[in-house]
Structure 1
Amino acid sequence: MEIVDYELFEVPPRWLFLRVETSDGTVGWGEPIVEGRARTVRAAVAELMDSYLLGADPTRIEDHWQTMYRGGFYRGGPILMSAIAGIDQALWDIKGKRLDVPVHELLGGKARDRIRVYQWIGGDRPADVGAAAAEQVEAGFTALKMNATPELRRIDTPRAVQDAVDRIAQVRDAVGAEVDIGVDFHGRVAKSMAKRLVEALEPYDPFFVEEPVLPEHNDALPAIAEHTSAPIATGERMYSRWDFKEVFEQGAVDVVQPDLSHAGGITEVKKIADMAEAYDVALAPHCPLGPVALASCLQVDACSPNALIQEQSLDIHYNETSDVLDYLADASVFEYEDGFVDIPDGPGLGIDVDESHVRAQSGDVDWHNPVWRHDDGSVAEW
């Protein structure tokens, strides 16, 4: 058996799907995407597939991962690691289908039957979060996540801090103490403001404070952690176990959030999860993406004892034209009940991609995140 063909599909709202086919007709799916850079990742996937994978045995997943990563002198970063991630997902999907078992069985078997999920509320510039929170709790979710702030100046006003406090207070008042509230700083906050914000939000017991500073400033995390007892989470813009090594050794991070479509796929994120367990750090994979990425996350969650909760993008503010379930032949595989989702038990990634719908939706999507500016005209973090 060998890999004989691949296809790439840009689909709304902002995703890229990879279809890999073997000589016996087995098809595996991956989701290699950097949101807003689909064309660039598409080129990287094609280069890797043409250089290393076509004509190869798909079952040698670790060797293929090492070849794609180490076969080039320049390594890492979001584009290359996302391209590797989608190919890796597709190879695991093929292997599971060939052996008629879910991927988690090949990774040691399930450590859990289901995992808790959280639901996004609000938007990029969060508003009306109290009513949205109550609505999602009524729908059965027991954990929520919201952006903490819109854009902030490097040192902003007391009013900006109070606005962030008022938003989480609205949510806490709406849902009570039985619901967890994750607060995402989204890398919008300089370390000078992050210390003030985490301290101000403390009375409302955030589930975690996510990406309080950009990953290039991870050296500031220990100082920020001194200002709060809330768990610190980060990792969506970190792409390999080597990127995570520093934060594990610092001891300031409580939750890591590698993305299965950015951080080298199933092969690499399982290694990151195992490293995190050794440092008593929880795993909560980042996934504001499509069904292939989510299915990949759930396969790693299944066999990682330190998996805490799973992000998912159903009804997220980005998904205005298409949503996660639209691309599945059987949407019940992601049926949420009591704030949990069952681990898929079907072969491979455990999902049945609706290929005809993918082909019908495929085209030049051209999604890019907005460029925000401060009131002086300078670029702000989005």
Structure 2
Amino acid sequence: MKIARIETFHVPPRWLFVRIEAEDGSFGWGEASLEGHSEAVDGAFEAIRDRFIGADPRRIEDIWQVAYRGGFYRGGPVLMSALAGLDQALWDWKGRHFGLPAWEMLGGKVRDRVRAYAWIGGDRPHDIGAAARVRRDQGFSAIKMNATGEIDYLVAPDLDDVVERVKAAQAEGMDVGLDFHGRIHRPMAKQLAKLLEPLGLLFIEEPILSENPEALLQLANLVSTPIAVGERLYSRWDFKPFLASGAIDIIQPDLSHAGGLSESRRIAAMAESYDVAVAPHCPLGPLALAACLQLAGCTPNVVIQEMSLGIHYNAGGHDLLNFCTNPEVLTPRDGYLAIPDGPGLGVEIDEAAVRAAAKDGHRWRNPVWRHADGSFAEW
């Protein structure tokens, strides 16, 4: 058995799907979405095709090791996202080949469903109470929202407003995770985290950019609120110093950035040895979410799952379930997502719809923000 084709598709609103096909016509799907950099990831697939067309798709671990180590330069968001999409597609193909879900091949179920949360509020959160009610009426009991818009090093007149927005969501019966989005520098992050501490948040996410690990450790020593980090970490080696430092309580590997299902399973196992929970990052498409559910199915320290249903990024009529022919497997029930029982990743993709949408593709870019003085602001 050999891989005959590796295809990529730029799918609106901002996704990059991967399809592998074996010489007998059998196939598997994955997602290599790297928001704002799809073209770069797509370019990385040129080397992947040269290396792995003709390889045995059953040898997932060997392919992963060669893809990671064999190009001499390794790691980083572009190469690891490409490897993630390939890895997901290989697990999907292998599951279809043997008639098994990926979680079955990775050791079997540890749970039947996983709690899910949805986004509210957009980039500059507002009307939080009404947005939280919508999610509550959809059956969710947990939400995530951005903490602030752009914020300077030293002047933040609206910190009390952040507290009031959280209280508005909690008043609708919601548990709240608050995403600082790496927008907030250490002086303001310390103040805001202290203000929020009495509110009992699920977590504060990227309260400081992960490129500043010493500041994260300082913050962890200031507040008891769980600290979550990981969407901008791409391998077990990236996560290793954060786990060893004791600065974080929840890791958030993105299965379309951090080397796919194979590497994220290893990262989760590392985290378990430090008593750190896993809440995979996933504001992406259906294949990324399906891969996350496979991880949740076989990984004991997964605690909650992000999903992009109705997220503010999904504009232009392209929402999470649009390219699925079995959308029920990714539809939340009573605030939970069931672990799919179908083969591979457990989701069926409408290939014709993907090919049609990819003809127009997308050129998604995140906004560039500036402070009042004209200087660059973190988004």
TM-score by length of 1: 0.97
Match of residue 320 from structure 2: 324
Q: Output the aligned Cα RMSD.
A: 0.9
Equivalent residues in 2 for 1:367-378 (5 A)? 367-378=364-375
Give the distance between the partners of 1:206 and 1:228, measured in 2 at CA.
12
Q: How does 1:29-44 map to 2 (within 5 A)?
A: 29-44=29-44
Give the drift of 1:171: 1.4
Match of residue 159 from structure 2:
161
Q: Tell me the amino acid that sits aligned with residue 174 of structure 1.
A: E
Match of 1:333 in 2: 329
**Match for residue 139 of structure 1?**
138
Equivalent position of 1:259 in the other structure: 254
Secondary structure of the residue aligned to 1:169 is helix
Partner residue, 2:362: 365
- The one-letter code sitting in structure 1 at the alignment partner of 2:209 is L
1:123 aligns with 2:122: yes
C-alpha displacement at 1:154, in angstroms? 1.0
**What 5-or-longer segments of structure 1 have no aligned partner?**
none
Q: 1:364 to 1:337 in 2, by over 3 A?
A: closer
Q: CA deviation at 1:49?
A: 1.9
Q: Is the 8 A contact 2:210 2:216 kept in 1?
A: no
Following the alignment from structure 1 to structure 2, what is the Cα–Cα distance between the partners of residues 70 and 309?
Answer: 32
Name the SS of the counterpart of 2:171 in structure 1: helix
User: Scaled by the length of structure 2, what TM-score is found?
Assistant: 0.98
Aligned residue in 2 for 1:203: 198
Aligned residue identity for 1:163: D
- Mapping for residues 211-290 of structure 1, pairs under 5 Å: 211-290=206-285
| 1:286-312 Cα distance to aligned partner (Å, 9 max, x none) | 000000100001101111000000000
Among residues 329, 343, 348, which one is paired with 1:347 in the alignment? 343
1:302-353 per-residue CA deviation (whole Å, 9 max, x = no partner) reads 1100000000000000001201110001111112111001100101111110
Q: Deviations over 1:343-372 (max 9, x none)?
A: 001011111101011011113310100000
SS of the residue corresponding to residue 294 of structure 1 reads helix
Residue type at the aligned position of 2:32: P
Output the CA distance in 1 between the equivalents of 2:115 and 2:49.
35
* DSSP-derived class of the 1:242 partner: helix
Per-residue CA deviations over 1:4-62 (Å, capped at 9, x if unaligned) read 01221111100011111001111111111210111110010222122x11001011111
SS across alignment from 2:182 = coil
1:202-230 CA-to-partner distances (Å, cap 9, x unmatched) read: 12211100001111012211211122211
Q: Distance in 1 between matches of 2:198 and 2:155?
A: 21
Is there any run of 5+ residues in structure 2 with no aligned partner, and where? none
Aligned partner letter, 1:152: I
Partners of 1:199 and 1:173 in 2: how far apart?
20
Aligned to 1:149: 148
When the two structures are aligned, how many residues end up with a matched partner?
Answer: 377
After superposition, residues 154-193 of structure 1 pair within 5 angstroms as: 154-157=153-156, 159-175=157-173, 179-193=174-188
SS in 2 for 1:65: helix
For the 8 Å contact 2:136–2:172, the answer to whether it is kept is no
In 2, the alpha carbon distance for the partners of 1:364 and 1:267 equals: 28
- Please list the CA deviations of residues 237-286 of structure 1 after superposition, one character each: whole Å capped at 9, or x if unmatched: 00000010011111121100000000000110000000011100000000
Distance in 2 of aligned mates of 1:144 and 1:251: 26
Percent sequence identity over matched residues? 55
* Distance (whole Å) between structure 1 residues aligned to residue 120 and residue 334 of structure 2: 17
Moved more, 110-119 or 162-171: 162-171
CA distance, structure 1, for counterparts of residue 172 and residue 343 of structure 2: 41
Cα distance, 1:174 vs structure 2 = 2.8
Contact kept, 8 Å, 2:234 with 2:253, in 1: the verdict is yes
Report the Cα distance in structure 2 between the residues aligned to 1:123 and 1:151, rounded to whole angstroms. Answer: 13
